[in-house]
Structure 1
Amino acid sequence: MFGGGGMNPRKMKQMMKQMGIDVEELDAERVVIETADGDLVFDGAQVTKMDAQGQETYQIVGSPKEVADAGAGGSAGGETPAVEGDDPDATADGADVVDAIPEEDVALVAERAGVPKSTAREALENADGDLATAIAELE
């Protein structure tokens, strides 16, 4: 984009600052990307966060290990998929509290607040499914 092959790194940083782009190195110990086919786990990867006009972008440099998915809904965090009829979170009238909160909402709160999915789900349950309240509670 900039053709920075011979550009001075300090000059490049100055230009990015003028354009409203902020770059920050994160001290990440582990990065996990969950996919439908399994997880990609990066141990000791270099992570760079770039904020350009409020839009955050993360760059991960490293070699991942592939971890096979343990079944539908399984994850590296040790969560187990729910089994119909065997749910400790079911209410007296048979309504399932866990299923009332979409997995996408749990993932969004976990990502935004930087917490495990189990913590995000608990915050969403406490906030009656309100995303903003759950994120604010965790931050």
Structure 2
Amino acid sequence: MDAQGQKTYQISGRPRIVARKELEEKEEGIPQEDIDLVAEQTGKTKAQAKKALEDTDGDIAEAIMKLKE
């Protein structure tokens, strides 16, 4: 809404309490545990596992399938 030259925004929804660790993981990207799991399950390097997870938006199952092709 624009009133007297000032814009006003309204946000609706429910507040959600998020642990600091969860926020830090989101900022850092792919959690190390996920990288380790994909590398272990596929026998690939951690760098390859991380790349696959990034390509699949963090989907572990899809990353494993991609690396096993």
TM-score relative to the length of structure 1:
0.30
Partner letter of residue 48 of structure 2?
Answer: T
The aligned runs of 1:93-112 (5 Å cut-off) are: 96=27, 99-112=28-41
- RCO higher in structure (CA 8 A, sep ≥6): 2
Offset of 1:107 from its aligned partner? Answer: 0.2
Identity over aligned residues, as a percent?
49
Offset of 1:100 from its aligned partner? Answer: 1.7
- Matched residue, 1:125: 54
Q: 2:45 aligns with which of 112, 116, 136?
A: 116
| Matched position secondary structure for 2:37 | helix
2:62 equivalent to 1:138: no
Partner letter of residue 110 of structure 1?
Answer: A
After superposition, give the CA deviation of every residue in 1:64-85 in whole Å (9 maximum; x if it has no partner).
xxxxxxxxxxxxxxxxxxxxxx
Higher helix fraction (1 or 2): 2
Offset of 1:138 from its aligned partner? Answer: 0.4
Report the RMSD for the aligned CA atoms in angstroms: 1.4
TM-score relative to the length of structure 2:
0.59
Partner letter of residue 113 of structure 1?
Answer: T
Higher strand fraction (1 or 2): 1
After superposition, give the CA deviation of every residue in 1:80-134 in whole Å (9 maximum; x if it has no partner).
xxxxxxxxxxxxxxx85xx221000000000001000000000000000000000
Partner letter of residue 120 of structure 1?
Answer: A
Equivalent pairs counted in the alignment come to 43
Unaligned runs of 5+ in 1: 1-94
For 2:57 and 2:42, locate their aligned partners in 1 and report how far apart those are by CA, in whole Å: 17
Offset of 1:137 from its aligned partner? Answer: 0.2
